[in-house]
């Protein structure tokens, strides 16, 4: 096991990793920018190192600074959290070259999944169902039209380097393909410096359902069920739940087994999430994330497992601590992302938290790193906490969520809490009747 872990992140996930380390008896090193000197993760860590000025590029993304912090403190592993360097294959390699452990998958697998074309090719080869589309990238209009005529319209042009929905254009018919192709290419070039694109059948009203997997790099792999993350706005998830209201026991076991088998074959190591679009009873792979995700607590609540602790154990060379038959799914869990944002426009609302009271009680968990008097810096994303609620049934979970939301007080900045208070009283949400477009439609009608 590692002796000392450096946490290359901030906010609630830095605290989440710190808690797992403490429970494993591992010493912790926090790193922070000059804007985060008063941050909770710095206060709670055994040691801390300032790694640069506020812009992430010069601090949380600054690899030489992070290496120096490892050197100074003698940390023998780094946990990257999510975002920042968590899916940077080169960072994983550099750490290895310095004899420092990376708490994440093999660099090779991070790299494959970072290229959407390569990821899809790999998924297909491993027996995971993918969206019908071009075999690899398309290099000309003529080639795109051939694919279009074969798989039919509407079509979606996607960037190989894509993420966050950038470089994605719908072509409703043959006449609009040329324009969709060139605008997707231009957007991809501008956003990622890479204009490679591929084509897929456009799914009109899917749900976004992702499978949590774990591998130990030795050919053992398991799945921990799904999370339904369909409620999102501008590709930012807002509310996640497990189990998905759209799946039953057999469907979960079936897609879960497909994913676990694929990860066994890949000899995948660590936590991963295989993302699908789900429509009319069918799963279609879109991407794989090779990190711990924001919404991982939903899975922890229904499985009783500590996903971050398992990541650390596996990275230190241990085998998976559980077998598939030992994984049990209990009840229902929902997560609400509490952002310091206007609840209708989602405009960021940084500033000082004047008063803070987090809900508690049976089945209620709050993962946050803020406190009364804390000043939210404007330089980073606006997530200030996550409210995660567990219940025996979805209905109990919703009732508990409603009361927890009513207890939650954050004064001094705008938050997304009022949005959740109205969402939990909405009939479609109560019925689990929503898709990836539901929230944007709902917000458009309200404003
Ligand atoms: C799609 C799709 C419909 N059909 N692919 C958006 C970003 C990237 N992660 C994949 N995305 C989509 N891919 C096909 N073939 C619709 C989306 C999409 C979406 C997916 C998941 C969650 C929210 C979304 C919002 C808009 C579009």
- Distance (angstroms) between ligand 1 centre and the Cα of 117 equals 15
Q: How many CB atoms lie within 10 A of CB 97?
A: 9
pLDDT tens by residue, 323-374: 999 999 999 999 999 999 999 999 999 999 999 999 999 999 999 999 999 9
Is pLDDT of 295 > 90?
yes
pLDDT band at 242 (very low <50, low <70, confident <90, very high): very high
Q: What is the CA radius of gyration of the chain?
A: 22
Nearest atom within ligand 1 for CA of residue 204: 3
Choice among 16, 291, 313, 337 that is catalytic: 291
**Nearest atom, ligand 1, residue 131 CA:** 15
The pLDDT of residue 3: 98
pLDDT of residue 447: 72
| Contact residues of ligand 1, CB 6 A cut-off | 131, 156, 165, 168, 200-203, 208, 232, 235, 277, 286-287, 436
Higher pLDDT pick, 440 / 166: 440
What value does the mean pLDDT take over residues 12-16?
98
Q: 41 with 20: CB under 8 angstroms?
A: no
Q: What is the pLDDT of residues 103-113, one digit of tens each?
A: 999 999 999 99
Closest-CA residue, ligand 1 atom 7, reads 165
pTM score over 0.95: yes
What's the distance, CA 93 to chain centroid?
Answer: 22
8 Å CB contact between 116 and 161: yes
The pLDDT of residue 167: 87
pLDDT band at 178 (very low <50, low <70, confident <90, very high): very high
pLDDT, residue 283, reads 98
Task: Judge whether 207 counts as a catalytic residue.
Answer: no
> Does residue 240 carry a pLDDT above 80?
yes
Name the band, by pLDDT with cuts 50, 70 and 90, for residue 207. Answer: very high
pLDDT over 70 percentage in the chain: 100
Average pLDDT over residues 188-197: 92
* Cβ(259)–Cβ(223) below 8 Å: yes
- Minimal CA–CA distance to 20: which of 247, 312, 360? 312
In this predicted structure, the answer to whether residue 163 has a pLDDT above a threshold of 80 is no
Q: Average pLDDT, whole number, for the chain?
A: 97
Please count the residues of the chain. 447
Residue 303 three-state SS: helix
Angle between helix axes 63-73 and 89-97 (nearest 10 degrees) is 30
**pLDDT for res 164:** 76
Backbone torsions φ then ψ of 335, nearest 5 degrees: -120, 135
Q: Of the residues 286, 288, 437, which should be mutated to test ligand 1's pocket, given the most ligand atoms within 8 Å of the CB?
A: 286
Beta carbons of 75 and 17 less than 8 angstroms apart:
no
pLDDT at 446: 85
Residue 165, pLDDT score: 82
- Sign of the torsion formed by the C-alpha atoms of 115, 120, 123 and 129: positive
- Which atom of ligand 1 is the closest one to the Cα of 201? 15
For the packed helices 89-97 and 107-114, what is the interaxial angle rounded to 10 degrees? 160
d(CA 88, CA 26): 24
- Residue 80 is given by DSSP the state -
Q: Which pLDDT value is given to residue 330?
A: 98
DSSP 238: E
Task: Say how many Å lie between the CA of residue 165 and the centre of ligand 1.
Answer: 7
- Sorting pLDDT into bands at 50, 70 and 90, what band is 233? very high
Please give the average per-residue pLDDT across 309-326, as a whole number.
98
Distance CA 273, CA 212 (A): 5
Nearest to 119 by CA among 101, 102, 105, 139: 105
Q: For residue 180, how far is its CA from the centre of ligand 1 (angstroms)?
A: 16
At 27, the pLDDT band (50, 70, 90 cuts) reads: very high
Q: Average pLDDT, stretch 239-248?
A: 98
**Across 8-64, where does the E strand assignment appear?**
27-33, 47-52
Identify the residue whose C-alpha is closest to ligand 1 atom 21.
208
Tell me how far the alpha carbon of residue 203 lies from the centroid of ligand 1, in angstroms: 8
pLDDT at 218: 95
Q: How far is the CA of 163 from the centre of ligand 1 (A)?
A: 10
Structure tokens given for 13: 């996930």
């Amino acid at each position: 096991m590692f002796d000392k872990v450096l946490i290359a992140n901030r906010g609630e996930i830095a605290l989440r990793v710190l808690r797992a380390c403490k429970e494993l008896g591992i010493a912790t090193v926090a790193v922070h920018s000059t804007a985060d000197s008063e941050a909770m993760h710095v206060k709670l860590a055994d040691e801390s190192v300032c790694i640069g000025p506020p812009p992430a590029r010069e601090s949380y993304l600054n690899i030489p600074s992070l290496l120096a912090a490892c050197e100074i403190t003698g940390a023998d592993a780094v946990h990257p959290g999510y975002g920042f360097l968590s899916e940077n294959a080169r960072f994983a390699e550099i750490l290895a070259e310095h004899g420092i452990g990376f708490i994440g998958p093999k660099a090779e697998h991070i790299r494959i999944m970072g290229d959407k074309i390569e990821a899809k090719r790999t998924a297909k080869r491993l027996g995971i169902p993918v969206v019908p589309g071009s075999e690899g990238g398309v290099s000309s209009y003529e080639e795109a039209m051939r694919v279009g005529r074969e798989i039919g319209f509407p079509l979606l042009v996607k960037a190989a380097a894509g993420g966050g929905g950038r470089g994605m254009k719908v072509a409703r018919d043959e006449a609009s393909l040329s324009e969709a192709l060139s605008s997707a290419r231009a957007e991809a070039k501008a956003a990622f410096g890479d204009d490679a694109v591929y084509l897929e059948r456009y799914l009109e009203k899917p749900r976004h359902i992702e499978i949590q997997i774990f591998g130990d790099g030795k050919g053992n792999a398991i799945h921990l069920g799904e999370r339904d993350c369909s409620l999102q706005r501008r590709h930012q998830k807002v509310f996640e739940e497990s189990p998905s209201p759209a799946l039953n026991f057999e469907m979960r076991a079936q897609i879960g087994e497909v994913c676990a088998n694929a990860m066994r074959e890949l000899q995948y190591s660590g936590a991963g999430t295989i993302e699908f679009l789900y429509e009319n009873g069918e799963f279609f792979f879109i991407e794989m994330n090779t990190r711990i995700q924001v919404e991982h607590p939903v899975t922890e609540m229904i499985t009783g497992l500590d996903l971050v602790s398992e990541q650390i154990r596996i990275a230190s060379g241990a085998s998976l601590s559980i077998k598939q038959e030992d994984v049990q799914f209990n009840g229902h869990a929902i997560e609400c992302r509490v952002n310091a944002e206007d609840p209708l426009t989602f405009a960021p609302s940084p500033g000082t938290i004047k008063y803070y009271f987090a809900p508690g009680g049976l089945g209620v968990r709050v993962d946050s790193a803020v406190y009364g008097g804390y000043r939210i810096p404007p330089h980073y994303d606006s997530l200030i906490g996550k409210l995660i609620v567990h219940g025996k049934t979805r209905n109990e979970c919703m009732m508990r969520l409603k009361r927890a939301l009513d207890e939650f007080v954050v004064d001094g900045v705008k938050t997304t809490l009022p949005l959740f208070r109205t969402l939990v009283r909405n009939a479609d949400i109560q019925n689990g009747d929503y898709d990836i477009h539901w929230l944007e439609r709902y917000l458009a009608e309200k404003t």
